Every structure is written in structure tokens, then in C-alpha cells.
């Protein structure tokens, strides 16, 4: 220790240091400085900036790449609307479209015996295909009045008897069917009509006999609606054959 520094000087310096430590501003009550908390937007915490787009081998990024040009429409691909690619109508339908009105009405009367029905279809020619002709026939059938339905049903020939099939009960079934046809005509004043397309030949006899026996129990108004629907289906099938082979 240097001769001019005594024990008294050391104690004085130590007390002075402690005094300064005790009066540090951060230890004063009532004068503590508080830092306001940082307010963070909770939505911004979960939103992260998108990663930078990596350049490709050519050095450009997707944002700077030119957009591809749309491919021109190929006339031979996809679904084409009506136009030069629409197939021509069937030969029978083309002949029906070209017939004079009176001959067209006569041809259409073979499909349904109502003159107004046939005239309506003749006046709406030409038809682009058989489906359009059949749709027009359905619409005209739905618009028939009860008197027109009765006239069309009166023009219908009796339903032909199904072909005979070998078996002991075939003769008895045909006899029962003839008797049912006669009973139907006496009750409802028109021939029994039924649409049987789609059945096999060995099913026709049973289907016809079952249908006529069921419909004999109908009331006149109910059977009129059933017969009108069968007439519409028959006319639709006949229009399809006429479009395929019109004389």
C-alpha cells in the first residue's frame, strides 16, 4: 500500500461506492420507468410472407414468364354444334321433308288417325332428324282433345294376335284373348291398343292377355288416359319407321 493511502481512505471510498449504489435511479420507488408492451396483431402472427420464387434453369421466375398462347380450336375435335358437320337426315326423312303438304299429311295419318295431328307435323317441316320428328309427334299427341283422341282410337285397327307358340295351352290362350278383345270393344267403344315393342315373341301373348284383363276393370275415364298414352307410344314408333323409310 502506498504511504499516502491509509486505512481511513479505503473505508471512505468503500462507503461512497455503497452510497452511490443505493441511490441508483432504478431503485427509487415511484420513479420506475416502465416500457409499454408491444402490441402484436394476432392475425399478422400467423400470416407469413410467401417464399421467394426460385428461378428456373433459364434464370427467369414464374412471374416474368410469358403466358402460353391459347390453342386454336380444331374443327374436327370436341362437340360440334349444328353447322356444316351436322349429318344429313335419313333418306326417308329427307323424302318426307320434300313431299307436298297433302302427301305429307297422308303419310303422317298412317302414324296417328287424327287429321289435326298430321297437319301440325306436316306444317312444322323440315325436321333435322328422326328424334326431332318424334318429339314433335309427342307434343302434338299431348295436345289432342278428348274428341280427337276418340277419333284417332276409332281409326286404330285391333291389336294383332301374338304369334302362336308350341304348347298345350296356346289354343286356349288365343281363345281367351279373342273373347277379351270383344269384351273390351263392347265396354269402351274402340279397339284395344297396346305398345309391345321391346318384348320377345314368346312374351307377347302373356303380356297382351294380362294387359287387356287388367284394363277391362278400368273406369272409362281412366282407360281413356291409358289408351291415349299407348296411342302416343304407337305413333312415336311409327314415326321412327316413317323417317327411316318414307315412300
Q: What is the Cα–Cα distance from 140 to 114, expressed in whole angstroms?
A: 10
| H/E segment holding residue 12 | helix 7-22
Return the higher-pLDDT residue of 33 and 98.
98
Whether this prediction's pTM lies above 0.95 is answered by no
Q: What is the Cα–Cα distance from 46 to 134, expressed in whole angstroms?
A: 64
Burial of 200 per CB tally in 10 Å (0-12, 13-18, 19+): exposed
Residues 97 and 132: beta-carbon distance below 8 Å? no
pLDDT exceeding 70 applies to what percent of the chain? Answer: 62
Task: Check residue 165 and give its pLDDT.
Answer: 67
Average pLDDT, the chain: 76
| Residue 163 predicted with pLDDT over 70 | yes
Contact residues for 60 (Cβ-Cβ < 8 A; gap 6+):
none
DSSP structure string for 133-176 = HHHHHHHHHHT--HHHHHHHHHTSPPPPPPPP-SSTTHHHHHHH
* Cis upstream peptide for 126 (omega within 30°): yes
Report how far Cα 239 is from the mean position of its chain's Cα atoms.
26
pLDDT exceeding 90 applies to what percent of the chain? Answer: 45
* Whole-number Cα distances in Å, 195 to 37, 76, 160, 207, 211: 88, 41, 11, 10, 11
Grid cell at residue 191: 279397339
Q: What is the Cα–Cα distance from 216 to 88, expressed in whole angstroms?
A: 46
Grid cell at residue 13: 471510498
Amino acid at each position: 500500500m502506498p504511504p499516502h493511502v491509509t486505512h481511513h481512505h479505503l473505508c471512505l471510498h468503500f462507503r461512497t461506492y455503497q452510497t452511490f449504489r443505493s441511490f441508483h435511479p432504478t431503485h427509487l420507488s415511484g420513479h420506475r420507468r416502465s416500457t409499454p408492451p408491444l402490441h402484436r396483431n394476432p392475425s399478422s402472427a400467423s400470416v407469413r410472407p410467401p417464399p421467394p420464387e426460385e428461378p428456373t434453369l433459364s434464370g427467369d421466375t414464374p412471374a416474368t414468364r410469358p403466358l402460353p398462347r391459347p390453342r386454336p380450336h380444331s374443327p374436327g375435335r370436341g362437340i360440334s354444334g349444328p353447322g356444316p358437320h351436322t349429318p344429313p337426315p335419313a333418306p326417308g326423312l329427307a323424302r318426307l321433308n320434300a313431299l307436298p303438304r297433302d302427301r305429307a299429311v297422308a303419310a303422317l295419318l298412317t302414324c296417328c288417325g287424327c287429321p289435326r295431328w298430321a297437319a301440325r307435323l306436316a306444317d312444322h317441316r323440315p325436321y333435322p332428324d328422326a328424334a326431332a320428328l318424334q318429339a314433335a309427334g309427342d307434343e302434338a299427341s299431348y295436345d289432342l282433345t278428348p274428341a280427337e283422341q276418340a277419333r284417332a282410337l276409332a281409326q286404330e285397327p285391333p291389336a294383332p294376335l301374338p304369334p302362336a307358340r308350341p304348347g298345350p295351352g296356346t289354343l286356349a290362350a288365343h281363345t281367351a284373348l279373342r273373347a277379351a278383345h270383344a269384351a273390351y270393344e263392347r265396354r269402351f267403344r274402340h279397339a284395344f291398343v297396346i305398345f309391345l315393342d321391346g318384348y320377345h315373341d314368346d312374351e307377347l301373348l302373356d303380356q297382351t292377355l294380362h294387359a287387356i284383363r287388367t284394363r277391362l276393370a278400368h273406369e272409362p275415364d281412366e282407360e281413356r288416359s291409358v289408351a291415349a298414352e299407348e296411342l302416343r307410344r304407337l305413333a312415336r314408333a311409327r314415326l321412327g319407321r316413317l323417317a327411316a323409310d318414307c315412300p
